[in-house]
Amino acid sequence: YKVVELNTNALNYTYDAAEYTVIVDVTTDADNKLVATVDIQKDAAAANEIEFTNKYEVPVVPVAPANPTAPKTSNKPNTGDDAGNLIMMLSMFAASVGLLGAVSYKRKLNK
């Protein structure tokens, strides 16, 4: 078997590129039982265990400027229209007053 560490590309991590070869040899002993021997090799040399060493680098925090500059004013046109809301509300109020007046007048005529 070939054993390698999966690089997930996590930010600020450096992954170990080590490769291990694991050889499992299964034989039968004198009692006719299966016996497994495991041989671990790293770079063609014997190894006792499989170990991956990763490195984490703490990200550098940006330093705020000592004297921040004021934002620049924009020459973009003002396209918002605030007058429409006021006119619409006044029109609705006038229509409501007119409707109430008409209903009140109609009731007086019917009496």
List pLDDT tens digits, range 63-109: 887 887 777 777 777 766 666 778 889 999 999 999 999 999 888 88
**Amino acid at position 47, single letter:** A
Structure tokens, 110: 């019917």
d(CA 42, CA 20): 5
What is the arithmetic mean of pLDDT over 50-70?
87
DSSP 8-state symbol, 38 = E
CA distance 25 to 2: 15
CA distance 63 to 80: 37
44: Cβ–Cβ under 8 A, 6 or more apart, which residues?
none
For 18-41, what is each residue's pLDDT tens digit?
A: 999 999 999 999 999 999 999 999
Q: What is the pTM of this model?
A: 0.49
Q: What is the pLDDT of residue 82?
A: 64
Determine the 3-state secondary structure of 22 from DSSP: strand
